[in-house]
Structure 1
């Protein structure tokens, strides 16, 4: 019976110990991360046998401006550089997300309201006939290949496996209807119709069948595209010919090969001036020219020819409405990149003033924190209600009012989206993470760098994400609707906060509070350079940041990326202690001061006022030794005994005694579950302050409550935990000693004097003037 009891006790103890280990925030991430191997090593770098596939494309694309269609043929050359024989190939058909039978429609949830518009009702079922129409898939001998379309993926079956170090070439012919982004449910690409001048602006992407990634982590990355998780793509070379109306201007991934065929002599001259410009953009195609093209639409067509090397994707934009400006950006390695913008007149004067400069600014600062931009051009294209990125080109929102004015929200929103989308050239276009699986690896890292670049643009730039205090409301919210960062892109609650805001904040906290700027910047640049033009996974980032800094960050990754815990650390108790010096002069003086500081009782106060004289004051014969004895007066004997005591002490003990310091015992409670460093600001009696930073490892031996003693030369009169709001503490009311009453905050919003009126318009009205920047 005793043996059974002992066995049961051991089981209970083992289960308890296991639970403690699993709940321990300082448990290493070994079980959560994949085992290092010859492809990805334990340091977070590509292993000595790392490999990745390659896919080259030759394309002929025609955009039908009358029918709003894309027609295309492409030749894909796929290189199997893996150690595996491939029985079939997977190709992405992302346009099929708009097909009438798309899972995006069938798996979306919705409900009826008491009152619904016809437009709302129309969105309950698909009406736009989107998706690829595949005419054929043929091998290099012109023979039909067997293929099967599974929603947004297409499997091409091979007659025999594609062996390592072999390549295969095949052709696909297809077409699809271009969605109107403004009326067909939005989207990352499509058309925008301008009724005023009867013209279209096209931002075209995901316009061709694209090879899926095959790698050492997942094999084929063939997760279905449901609209939110973005794209996982293979690097390769592109040779693309794009046929559009002859009066269109085209911007695209890559370098234009036939300037003489598609640009006027004057446009070519201006472009040469732009290549030499460094401070101010040069207008290559003017607003006046764009307005003239809007009026005199032509039926003829032109073909623009672009070539791009070592890119993972291709996008383009085309319209007769485009204005074009450009300037050169000289990088630290001496190379010159062309920063360029195309936009309709509806974007001016905002776009001509800020867009290309924002592109140049982004390249400078992202390169500073990572690596020199390796491509020849970076485009910013204006499109309403969109922000989306592709190699060397991105589509960005930002339009002015009809009078050319704009709100501060529009201005900063436009600058921020340009920085963000141009920044995506680095993550994931070059540091090529798996967006379909891990949105945060490109969006979160990019949002963090966006914050750094924004702060270099303007002091106190109104950044929406990055600083710790901006993520507090999300992290303290209802955990039922919060997902760990390490969640698949299609299954995330609160997508923006989860994939953009929280990881960006986490990196900023790492940089400012946990690692320090110097160590973080070195480690982050190491990660970026190790994985540029490669396919990193989360473990590669986690391991590299530790490997390059010698800082154990497993506790941080676990808490911030694998859980939904939040930060709420309370300064629960403060006690002051003084060393008993045994010096009668010092100790008696302290005791006297403490007596004087004690509150007087009500009887003593009233007796002092009401008793005219006491008995000993009227009859002095009762006064004796104890009537005048002061027990707190140091005698000669007291001082002699103190000297004898000193003779028994070591020099070290005498130093402690003579220092006569104040000791403060602080107790901290971890209310939110997320361990963090302790940042403490102490205010002393003379008004000076001192900030101490305690690493998070202080929580190793007690994750719920810890106590630490702080010695000081002076008396402490105030303590603040997290004084610079840098840890994302969700409840700062318990961060003060002495405690403070924190009033509830509320904001008062002034009603605008006119409906929709912005500050520029109000100022002009107040001064009786017109805005000089109005569109012509």
Structure 2
């Protein structure tokens, strides 16, 4: 989901910093270097080293869906068949499903919890929600009619049988419908354009809740802000729309001969020969009879995607359609596509969107983990920025660097949490923050730095950290304020990479984490333990202060003394840690004769207390001492970072 993530790197969040100067240190080393940080030992499901254990299990949900867009009533109607596998060690007496469209019921929790002034994820003003017509369960060849128990955005199926552990299976069929919201809490909805409405469809079918080894059934309600937690499986789905619409969707189209013209099929095939953008439907072809196999009635689009946690799609008569070849590190080829209306046409608007998407897919594949699916599409529409496997929704009105950063941010979510399947509804920082972190490197890489970030990330966020009342571990509805799940997390990972561990150790450990937990359900401890283990560093001090507290950093240099034999024999420099957070210390020492040196002190100097004195070799008196000379740390009072002699 977009939170204007680019602002963090652009330095637009620069506020007048309120200095938290301390006359007496607030630092307590026993609070920071806390050996009781991990509250449980590893086990055979989740190892102490952060890897899935030898008995790790995960349930599975495979879907076959038939749905139709009924434009006359602006509704989706359909049925979903869920083949559910209970790989857990537990017997299941009931199943829980997510009914996220119920957010748009007038009496939903999300509506009740929306501030009076409204917000980005406001669900007020639209009376929608699921209509569940029938629910059937099939177990061991016998069919059962189930009377569902619906509570807000959750549906419980109380079974007249039990689903046994270790691989037992049950099938559930649900007939459903819902009215399409105009503005679906900034995740889906309808965008009117000159040539027709763009429908962006997400959270469009009942989905299984996750049953895991940590919480059992994960049944947190959908409130609008907190995102999603879904099981992995294959999705085979059929979308019926008016015949003159184009449907873009997660996965790969299975029946192009039935829904595309021969010219469009030929143009798609030609993308394999070039890295340039190819127009599949050109602007001048819109609304002409030649762009559809037939003009009246309906057509059914058949899509498939393997080993995914979700699918989404979009349909419109207004789509211009571009595509570009994607080159994966394994040698495989894929497609990056963009669909958009005439309102989005322009040399620095959606005409470049396919290339923005192509770059994102290639960069993240080369740098972190190869994209597992074949294609992806960016859709211009009503949502400001929203992500799903193989498809991302971006605002139709943005352009230039805003569009690039939106596309690369939403596409980056295909790594976090679509590949690394964290619980977004509980831990927003595990997807938004990790994604914002990798975005920064994609921005630097694109087109020789065309959209390279400006400003200082550490100092951009200081004021927000000072004002923050909540740690990163609180609910997304709380820590989304000020974007801390995005920016504080990303800054923390950059500090680990560039200050604490170094690029080589961090990158190795980070990729180990991705590889271990691809298509699985990591918890925060799994990330923390993996980084400790693979980087070979005790980082619990960092995890505690950065993710579990609202502490701030204030390093100070307080005294310069010379060796008794004179300045040419060395100097004793005293530094202090005046606030609750600690970090390693980088000191730049500039002598009066022009010589300069850098001294790096590990975080362990603070284990003994708030003050540390070290000796440095000098050849003349010191002109000045500077802490954190590259401004990599969010120091709340940089006025005491420099001391002149």
Report if TM-score (shorter chain) is over 0.5: yes
Q: Does 1:25 align with 2:32?
A: yes
Q: Cα distance, 1:712 vs. partner? A: 2.4
1:253-298 deviation line (CA, Å, top 9, x unaligned): 11110000000000001000113322x1111111112254799995
Secondary structure of the residue that 1:737 maps to in structure 2? strand
Q: Distance in 2 between matches of 1:569 and 1:36?
A: 35
Q: 1:363 Cα shift?
A: 1.6
Counterpart of 1:289 in structure 2 is 285
Q: Does 1:152 align with 2:160?
A: no
State the 1:21 CA deviation. Answer: 8.3
Distance 1:267 1:206 in 2: 29
The answer to which of 520-529 and 374-383 deviates more is 374-383
Of 169, 172, 190, the residue aligned with 1:170 is 172
Q: Given the alignment, which residue of 340, 344, 358 partners 1:347? A: 344
What's the offset of the Cα at 1:99?
0.7
The answer on whether the counterparts of 2:122 and 2:185 sit within 8 Å (CA) in structure 1 is no
Inter-partner Cα distance in structure 2 for 1:89 and 1:465: 50
1:698-734, Cα deviation, whole Å (9 max, x unpaired): 11111x3222222223432121111101011122111
Q: Which has the larger radius of gyration?
A: 1
CA 1:539 to 1:444, structure 2 compared with 1: closer, same or farther past 3 Å?
same
Residue 715 (1) aligns with residue 621 (2):
yes
SS of 2:580's equivalent?
coil
Find the counterpart in structure 2 of residue 488 from structure 1.
Answer: 475
Could you say which residue in structure 1 is the equivalent of 2:354?
356
1:547 Cα deviation from its structure 2 partner:
0.5
The residue that corresponds to 2:376 in the other structure is 378
Helix, strand or coil: the match of 2:445?
A: helix
**Which position in structure 1 is the counterpart of 2:632?**
726
Greater fraction of residues in strand = 2
SS at match of 2:226: coil
TM superposition shift of 1:467: 2.8
- Residues of 2 paired with 1:714 and 1:552: CA distance? 38
Matched-pair contact (CA < 8 Å) for 2:556–2:641: yes
Q: TM-score when scaled to structure 2?
A: 0.90
Which residue of structure 2 lines up, in the alignment, with residue 737 of structure 1? 643
Aligned pair partner of 1:450 in 439, 442, 454: 439
Query: What is the match of residue 188 of structure 2?
Result: 189
Query: 2-side partners of 1:549 and 1:418: how far apart?
Result: 31
Shift of 1:375: 0.6
What's the CA shift string for 1:320-379, capped at 9, x where partnerless?
Answer: 111111111111111112111111111111344421111111122212332111111111
The range that moved more, 32-41 or 438-447, is 32-41
Please say which of residues 212-221 and 269-278 is displaced more in the overlay. Answer: 269-278
SS in 2 for 1:429: coil
Which secondary structure does the structure 2 equivalent of 1:62 belong to? strand
Distance 1:541 1:499, change over 3 A: same
Structure 1 unaligned regions, length at least 5 = 1-18, 112-119, 401-409, 581-659, 740-776
Query: Structure 1 stretch 437-446 or stretch 141-150: which is displaced more?
Result: 141-150
> Contact 1:469/1:725 (CA < 8 Å) preserved in 2?
yes
**1:413 CA displacement:** 1.2
**CA 1:153–1:31: 2 relative to 1, 3 Å:** same
**2:135–2:172 CA contact under 8 A, matched in 1:** yes
1:217 aligned partner: 214
Distance 1:538 1:738, change over 3 A: same
2:42 is equivalent to residue 44 of structure 1: no
- In 1, the alpha carbon distance for the partners of 2:527 and 2:321 equals 38
The CA distance in 1 between the partners of 2:417 and 2:550, in whole Å, is 25
- Once the two structures are superposed, the pairs formed by residues 80-91 of structure 1 within 5 Å of their partners are 80-91=86-97
Residues 24-43 of structure 1 deviation map (CA, whole Å, 9 limit, x = unaligned): 21113x44444311110010
Contact 2:122 2:224 in 1 (8 A): no
Counterparts in 2 of 1:22 and 1:688: CA distance versus 1, 3 Å: closer
Q: Deviations over 1:674-706 (max 9, x none)?
A: 10111111112332322222121111111x322
Aligned residues: 612
- CA distances 1:533-572 after superposition (whole Å, capped 9, x unpaired): 1111100110111101111111111111111011111112
Q: Show the 5 A alignment for 1:417-432.
A: 417-432=406-421
Alignment of 1:691 onto 2:598: yes
Structure 2 counterpart of 1:54, from 51, 60, 75: 60
Q: What aligned pairs does 1:533-548 form with structure 2 within 5 A after superposition?
A: 533-548=519-534
RMSD: 2.4
Shift of 1:22: 8.6
Q: Measure how far apart 1:496 and its partner are.
A: 4.6
TM-score, length basis structure 1: 0.76
1:325 maps to 2:349: no
